[in-house]
Chain A
Amino acid sequence: MALVSDVVETGYGSLTGDQRDQQGSCRDRAVDPDRVLVDQVVTGDLGAFETLVQRYQVRIFNYALTMLRDTGEAEDVAQETFIRAYRSLRRFRGESSFKTWLYAIATNTARTARDRRGRRQRMEEQSLDDYTGTLNDHLTPIVAPTAETALITREVIDRALANLSDNLRVAVVLRDVQGLDYREIAKVTGVPIGTVESRIFRARQQLRTLLQPLRSGGRSGNEPMQEMNHAVR
């Protein structure tokens, strides 16, 4: 469990989803902005790799956290992701961006960690309904975003995501939490874009009830509470 003070900001920047998409599409079409650093790493420049780690560590760590919901395991997975990337960098042919390639490694590493944990022990999940009751008590007086409400928001979202199947979770996390565009997600997951769209659509449908505790409509938390009780029939 992360400390309350660990929650420092919301989102990965000020870009909207569309802006992120445009940026992502251009990235693949044009030159990968990480390509220069990747080339330097291949020639033995360890400092260039450290720059890449610092550039992506927050994204990869948070991605692992949404997949595993355990800070320690998430750090292990993030560490292993970067180490695997470093070892395999000579085989990176640049067919996708370094970012997409890194997410693919992180996805596989997180899945392996989940499988390993599943074999080791069956997690005793508290039912989401019980948890929802507790959270409603916390959420009622929310008027401004605080470190505590940010922590609760993250917990509700991560718990809701944990109820999805692995494929749906990966797709919707990469899109809505990590901000990758559909083409990038297709490359990370190795499925056609149509399948990605379908998975994201279904994931959001399933999440609508699971995210009901978060009835705040805006990113800042200052907007009026809004019910998310619209059902898809």
Chain B
Amino acid sequence: MLCDEVRPMLIRHLEGRLRADEEQCFERHLEQCNMCQEALEIQQRVAEVLSSRPVVRTPLGFSDRVMANLSVQGWLAVLDWRAWTFRLAPVAAGLTVVAVLGFGSTEVESPIELSEVVAEWTIDDNSVVLPAFSLLWQEGVTSDTLLEVVLTADPEDPLSY
């Protein structure tokens, strides 16, 4: 048996995992091979030295800090938007349905009639003082109303026709 064939058996010999026939071959080779004897001795000695490595005690309060970190992690999970995205998905879907149904049942406000606008801004002499351009930012004013106001407004008004 050659040294190259024996070397892989060294570890298994140390662990007592060689079969009986392998162990016999190994022992026969070892009796006549100084190199493999030395290799075996080195394996044993290094393993022995490494196993003598002094154990260092964990820093004081280590497990307490682990448990405290787990609690913090739990609170941080509350702030995790990805988790909330999944958890709140059904709620969001429900709100969407309610919103759609709710808007669907709401009556649309009727457009402002010209007469109402004129009445609101009319003074005693029945003259209209509302500048025509002020209707541009008022809600509910239809294009027809706006056109009518422009056409009938004071000639001094910049938006008058």
Q: A interface vs B, CB < 8 Å? A: 2, 6-12, 17-18, 21, 46, 49-50, 53-54, 57-58, 61-62, 65-66, 71, 75, 78-79, 82-83, 86-87, 150-151, 153-154, 157-158, 172-173, 175-177, 179, 182, 194, 197-198, 200-201, 204-205, 207-208, 211, 214, 216-219, 221, 226, 228, 230-233
Write out, one digit per residue, whether chain B residues 36-77 have a CB within 8 A of any chain A CB (1) or not (0): 001101110111111111111111001101110110010000
Give every chain A residue within 8 A of B62 (Cβ-Cβ).
53, 57, 61, 75, 78-79
Interface residues of B in 6-43 (CB under 8 A from A): 7-8, 10-12, 15-16, 35, 38-39, 41-43
Chain A-chain B contacts (Cβ-Cβ < 8 Å), number: 148
Min Cβ gap A6→B in Å is 5
> Is A10 touching B12 in the complex (CB atoms < 8 A)?
no
> Is B55 touching A50 in the complex (CB atoms < 8 A)?
no
> Is A2 touching B67 in the complex (CB atoms < 8 A)?
no
Give every chain B residue within 8 A of A75 (Cβ-Cβ).
58-59, 62
Give every chain B residue within 8 A of A217 (Cβ-Cβ).
45, 48
Using CB atoms, name the residue of chain B closest to A203.
Answer: B46
> In the assembly, what is the distance between CA of A153 and CA of B56, in Å?
12
Using CB atoms, name the residue of chain A closest to B14.
Answer: A17
> Is A82 touching B53 in the complex (CB atoms < 8 A)?
no
> In the assembly, what is the distance between CA of A176 and CA of B45, in Å?
11
Please pick, from B11, B35, B48, the residue contacting A219 in the complex, using a CB distance under 8 A: B48
> Is B47 touching A153 in the complex (CB atoms < 8 A)?
no
Min Cβ gap B147→A in Å is 67
> Is B73 touching A232 in the complex (CB atoms < 8 A)?
no
> Is A157 touching B49 in the complex (CB atoms < 8 A)?
yes
Give every chain B residue within 8 A of A82 (Cβ-Cβ).
66
Question: Main SS of the interface on chain B?
Answer: helix
Please pick, from B8, B12, B51, B69, the residue contacting A177 in the complex, using a CB distance under 8 A: B51
28 residue pairs A–B, Cβ–Cβ below 8 Å? A11-B55, A46-B70, A50-B63, A54-B63, A57-B58, A61-B59, A61-B62, A75-B59, A78-B58, A83-B70, A151-B54, A153-B54, A154-B56, A175-B47, A179-B51, A194-B8, A197-B8, A197-B11, A198-B8, A201-B43, A204-B42, A207-B46, A211-B49, A217-B48, A221-B52, A228-B46, A230-B45, A232-B35
In this complex, how many residues of chain B approach chain A with their Cβ under 8 Å: the count is 36
Give every chain A residue within 8 A of B16 (Cβ-Cβ).
18
> Is B38 touching A153 in the complex (CB atoms < 8 A)?
no
> Is A154 touching B54 in the complex (CB atoms < 8 A)?
yes
Give every chain B residue within 8 A of A79 (Cβ-Cβ).
62, 65-66, 69
Min Cβ gap B53→A in Å is 5
> Is B57 touching A230 in the complex (CB atoms < 8 A)?
no
Give every chain B residue within 8 A of A232 (Cβ-Cβ).
35, 38-39, 42
Min Cβ gap A213→B in Å is 10
